Amino acid sequence: MGAFVTSGELPNIIWLAVEGLTCLVTLATLVTALTPTRWNMQCLDRLFQMLNLIAGNVGHNRNADDR
């Protein structure tokens, strides 16, 4: 178990990264769909702006209460 990645391990590492990214986007989409977009507390508002960005809720694809 070294610090170097062999060519045989590379597809598994790429697949794991894709799965992790998919899980992150799915979780962010679920959280943003079930919660309001705007919050009175600045830290929560900033957090949910970041989650909306990760979930892909940007541009014309916005939450219903954000219009």
Number of domains observed in the structure of the chain? 1
Kindly state whether residue 4 falls inside one of the protein's structural domains.
no
27-64 tens-digit pLDDT: 998 988 888 777 788 888 888 889 888 988 876 666 66
- The predicted pLDDT at position 25 comes to 94
Q: Identify the domain containing residue 48 by its residue range.
A: 10-66
**pTM score over 0.75:** no
- The predicted pLDDT at position 19 comes to 98
Pseudo-torsion of CA 24, 27, 30, 35, nearest 10°? -100
User: Exposed, middle or buried: residue 32 (CB in 10 Å: 0-12, 13-18, 19+)?
Assistant: buried
Q: What is the DSSP letter of 1?
A: -
Kindly state whether residue 5 falls inside one of the protein's structural domains.
no
- The predicted pLDDT at position 32 comes to 85
Q: Using the structure block, give the residue that is written with the tokens 């992150």.
A: 24
